[in-house]
Copies of this chain bind each other. A is one copy, B any other.
């Protein structure tokens, strides 16, 4: 099948998915889970083959050990995949939620109801379990999805998606084009050009992947390229809290996007906060790169360069900079950060509010580690990705990020001409009941209808 045919098949599937009720979608998810369980041996065999080839690449230095390790989906990992499907079944249906309901006039009711976006193109690296997570989240939100996994996991991905497709095929009404897999970079390139058929691209992987995708498509992209997060220690910071928050933000798991890369310190807090904080960071193995004013307070630190303040280290390295005011800290973050997650440590609630209002980032924290920026920790149930976009969805994105809405108007033959100046007036009265007459369509029309 050509990519265009795949995309059109997805589009057709999306139109059918949009009319499914919650129970049918959950039945499909249970069938997917059962099919994965039944295909365990086959999936394991495919995964073993991928891992064998990856080991050869590791030995020859063409693949990192860390990436090769992430290929594994056998044993406990496989049980985790199955229980992940259970989690998605338990999530509330994001479709059919009424966000706005207005009686325009007697017998003329308007409902803004959440509905799927349509067709998602999801490009992910290494981890084959992402194929299951994404497919099940798409199914729950009634979106069709075209998946492209990492080359190293090609056989695992194929085995997983074939099992998913067998599960879907068992449930009447769920279209077979709901989940499809493509496999080459050339196919991805073609997919990114199909803005007529595909509504949203979600890249999950390295900064390079995200950036290259953002640069080569007109389809909206949900994601983030960089994660240059900062912690600002205010002059009214509690020294113990500052140390705890900074060490966790930097060192608890430095390889991820919500780890902190820049530490800003108010000049008046340097001597009070930095010596103990510096000691604990050194203990955690963090290399400190400090500006001229903070350097004397950080034994063992090396001088920073301007470039350090715009670098996502993803490693145990922290750039330290002195600022004269909270305004200077805000300005630094807005100009040099990546609008992902930034925190202030202060006991002054007014300063905190200024920081939280003016820092233009998806997540802004008062006295908490930047590492909390995460869909699970936020209680969203599942994370589709983290977005630094300024429209649609921002920050950790849950299932809500995979829906949009449509306006449904229920009338009795009304015409706009009836409401011309001097004639009828609109009522515009909020409707309290949260559901339209029938929020979800029947899956089929009864043949006995006259």
Contact = CB atoms under 8 A, between A and B. Distances in A.
B379 A104 contact: yes
B407 A378 contact: yes
Nearest to A246: B415
Copies of this polypeptide in the complex: 2
Given A364-B408, A437-B349, A442-B350, A248 B416 contact: yes
Interface string A388-411: 011111111000000011111111
A389 B241 CA distance: 45
A377 B218 CA distance: 32
A218 B219 CA distance: 9
Nearest to A414: B368
A434 interface: no
Contacts of A358: 15-16, 18-19, 441
A108 interface: yes
With most chain B CB atoms within 10 A of its CB, the pick from A330, A396, A442 is: A442
Contacts of A361: 406
A380 to B, nearest CB: 8
A398 to B, nearest CB: 9
21 contacts: A19-B357, A19-B358, A102-B379, A104-B377, A117-B391, A218-B218, A220-B220, A220-B390, A345-B413, A350-B449, A351-B445, A363-B408, A363-B409, A364-B406, A364-B409, A366-B409, A367-B414, A372-B411, A391-B391, A395-B405, A396-B407
| Nearest 5 Cβ contacts at the A-B interface | A368-B411, A241-B413, A357-B441, A248-B415, A371-B416
Interface of A: 14-16, 18-19, 102, 104, 108, 110, 112, 117-118, 199-200, 218, 220, 222, 236, 238, 240-241, 244-245, 247-248, 252-253, 326, 330, 334, 345, 348-351, 353-354, 356-358, 360-369, 371-373, 377-379, 389-396, 404-417, 419, 426, 428, 437-438, 440-442, 445-446, 449-450
